[in-house]
Amino acid sequence: MAHFRFRRYHNRAMRDLTPRQIVSELDRHIIGQDGAKRAVAIAVRNRWRRQQLEPEMAREVAPKNIIMIGPTGVGKTEIARRLSNLVNAPFIKVEASKYTEVGYHGRDVESMIRDLLELAVNMVRQEHAEQVRPKAEEAVEQRLVGLLLGETGQPPEKGWVKSGEAGYLADEEAQEPDSLERLRQRMAEKLRDGDLEDREIEITISEKQGTAIIGMMSPEQMDPSLASMLENMIPERSKRRRVTVARARAILLEEETDKLVDTEKIIEQAIERTEQTGIIFLDEIDKIAAGREGKSADVSREGVQRDLLPIVEGSTVNTRYGVIHTDQILFIAAGAFHSASVSDMMPELQGRFPIRVELSALTKDDFKRILVEPDAALTKQQEALLLTEGIDVTFETDSIDAMAELAAEANGRMENIGARRLMTVIEQVFEEISFDAPDMAARGERAVTIDAAFVRDRLAKVMKDEDLSRFVL
């Protein structure tokens, strides 16, 4: 096992959420799959429990990695994604089939750790940026006022002062000692009121030139420490750009924020968050298991598994920000396992995923619940979208039954893509209304009722024609 580094990382979300509360929150967005929800809830709570132990005991507690087994579109990815949002943890989804073994062209498995850390750095930086935002906005306002009055903030000519779009100060006013200060105040007020957002000004932008590529080596293949060294060696280049005040505010806010935040502290916290709360969702892991396509394919897949093993087991990965220990990163793997089984994976890798849960295929009743129960159910989304046009949509109960039945039928006749089929069905049902909505509102047609007859009428032609249904649905 890799070197263990124990630090108590305090995550308030993990501390405050019990497994029951985590499942309850997931229920708001995902229908069914109770076994998978309970498994991830326990895994997250165990991370918090481990952090309460003495270091000697904590170093012996390994994360309970999970394998989710089930067809596409049943909620595997959504459970992991919602979980990470719930506990404010860095989360990335990667496809195991996109990686190749060491020595071959393609993505190496360590890149997933670097991607996770990059995401954590952005998360922590955003949090720090919010803390210093008031000071940064104040500094940006002062810079914009100076730019609108000229780089020096001095009157452009003796005897008169141009006040943006407010006209000019009188000659005698301009000669008063406090006239420039009053002008700056007036300009600042106009900025706060949004009166100058479309006005163009010229600003200086500093930017780094792209990192050079050595020979035929891509940045991903380049050693992280070398890439970081090259980046520091490349000088910044300044250039003048003419942009609107609104665009300048965004650019200058980024610059002022960079001055106020502590980059070293951000990186330190991001590394700690990655190591202690990071979640990697390994999709399509069944595609790197030994299948039935022959030995040559099996050899390649086993190579990826061999490279993946030390990452899951616990190792150190060099990144541009420093070394990451993967001991406590939670890995959630998923796959349909149609042509392979979990037992076809390397025994050592299997052992690193002690928790296995099977997700069930979705039924018509599941589809009905998915259409109406989640906080952001598809029907609620459609109602909200059309309400922006002034169209009030009402769904009759039988319309929900019809859409669920047609989605289940389409999944049965064609490839089963789970709940994703509902999105296609509902888009087909609303295609004409979505197109005509502005004209309908203009004619005063502000109420639409969706019933079973309406749904079947919109999908009759598609469902009837086998070839067309495969193309459209």
Number of other residues whose CB lies within 10 A of the CB of residue 18: 12
CA distances from 267 to 51, 118, 210, 337 (A): 21, 10, 22, 38
What are the structural domain ranges in the chain? 12-121+269-358, 126-263, 364-472
Q: Which SS3 state, helix, strand or coil, does residue 168 take? A: strand
CA distances from 42 to 23, 47, 205 (A): 10, 9, 49
The residues with which 334 forms a beta bridge, in sequence order, are 68
The CATH code for residues 364-472 is: 1.10.8.60
Q: Which SS3 state, helix, strand or coil, does residue 304 take? A: helix
Mean pLDDT of the chain: 80
As a whole number, mean pLDDT of residues 91-99 equals 87
The CATH code for residues 12-121+269-358 is: 3.40.50.300
pLDDT (tens digit per residue) in 330-349 = 999 998 888 888 888 888 89
Quote the DSSP letter at residue 160.
B
At residue 33, φ and ψ (nearest 5 deg) are 55, 45
178-181: long-range contacts, CB 8 A cutoff, minimum separation 24: 180/153, 180/154, 180/155
HSE-up of residue 392 (Cα within 13 Å, Cβ side): 4
CB distance 417 to 470 below 8 Å? no
Q: Where are the alpha helices (DSSP H) in 152-262?
A: 171-174, 179-193, 224-233, 245-260
For residue 6, the model assigns a pLDDT of 46
Q: What is the pTM of this model?
A: 0.76
CA distance 216 to 231: 18
As a whole number, mean pLDDT of residues 378-395 equals 92
CA distances from 110 to 56, 125, 267 (A): 28, 23, 19
Higher pLDDT, 122 or 222: 122
- Report strand pairing: 322-325 vs 316-319: antiparallel
Q: Among 167-181, 183-197, 313-327, which range has the highest average pLDDT?
A: 313-327
User: What percent helix, strand, coil does the chain show, rounded to 5?
Assistant: 55, 15, 30
Q: Please choose, from the candidates 280, 328, 262, the residue with its C-alpha nearest in 3D space to the C-alpha of residue 9.
A: 328
Q: Residue 258 contacts by C-beta under 8 Å, 6 or more apart in sequence?
A: none
CA dihedral of 187, 189, 195, 199, whole degrees rounded to 10: 30
Higher pLDDT, 210 or 125: 125
Q: Which SS3 state, helix, strand or coil, does residue 64 take? A: coil
CB distance 16 to 10 below 8 Å? no
Higher pLDDT, 200 or 322: 322
Instruction: Report DSSP letters for 203-216, one per residue.
Output: EEEEEEPPPPP-TT
